[in-house]
């Protein structure tokens, strides 16, 4: 695996100190079983945040050198199921509110028909269903 050159994806130390406590602790693995030791929680979280921020596929993570895509995806799924990200969401918003300020605005919404939505029984567009429509008309 290549070593990552840039560090923009790293979780800052101050944030890591707040995020680490609610993360599930990794069980100690018997080294006699062989294989690679598990990736540290911080590297896995760096990988998860990299994928979420960059918007890339999990497999693209392998090329970065942060951690393996399978490790990051597995930990993401485990933590999502355990509600870890939900537990971090509210304190994260509160912290962001202190630092940058959130602009909470109420938005009204209305459900109306689209102005150019067309007629209810308009003709179907040409395409794959054209043959079925013609068969119905012939019957």
Per-residue pLDDT of the chain (139 residues), as tens digits, is 455 455 666 888 888 888 888 787 777 777 787 777 788 889 999 999 899 888 999 999 999 889 999 999 999 999 999 898 888 888 888 888 888 877 766 666 666 666 666 566 666 666 565 555 555 555 5
The reply to whether 129 falls in a domain is no
The reply to whether 18 falls in a domain is no
- The range of the structural domain enclosing residue 63 comes to 39-103
The reply to whether 62 falls in a domain is yes
Q: Which two tokens stand for residue 63?
A: 């090329």
CA 134 to chain centre: 44
For the whole model, what pTM was predicted? 0.61
Q: Which among 56, 106, 112 is positioned nearest to 47, based on CA atoms?
A: 56
The reply to whether 130 falls in a domain is no
Q: Which among 43, 35, 26 is positioned nearest to 78, based on CA atoms?
A: 26
- DSSP, residue by residue, 50-105: HHHHHT--GGGGGGTTSS-HHHHHHHHHHHHHTTHHHHHHHHHHHHHHHHT-----
The reply to whether 131 falls in a domain is no
The reply to whether 3 falls in a domain is no
Count of structural domains, the chain: 1
The reply to whether 122 falls in a domain is no
């Amino acid at each position: 695996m290549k070593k990552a050159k840039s560090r923009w994806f790293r979780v800052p130390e101050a944030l890591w100190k707040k995020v680490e406590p609610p993360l599930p602790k990794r069980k100690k693995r018997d080294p006699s079983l062989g294989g690679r030791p598990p990736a540290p929680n911080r590297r896995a979280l760096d990988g998860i945040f990299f994928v979420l921020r960059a918007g890339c596929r999990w497999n693209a993570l392998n090329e970065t050198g942060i951690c393996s895509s399978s490790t990051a995806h597995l930990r993401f799924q485990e933590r999502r199921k355990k509600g870890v990200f939900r537990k971090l969401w509210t304190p994260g918003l509160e912290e962001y509110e202190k630092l940058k300020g959130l602009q909470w605005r109420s938005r009204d919404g209305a459900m109306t028909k689209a102005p150019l939505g067309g007629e209810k029984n308009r003709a179907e567009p040409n395409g794959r269903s054209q043959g079925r429509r013609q068969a119905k008309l012939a019957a």
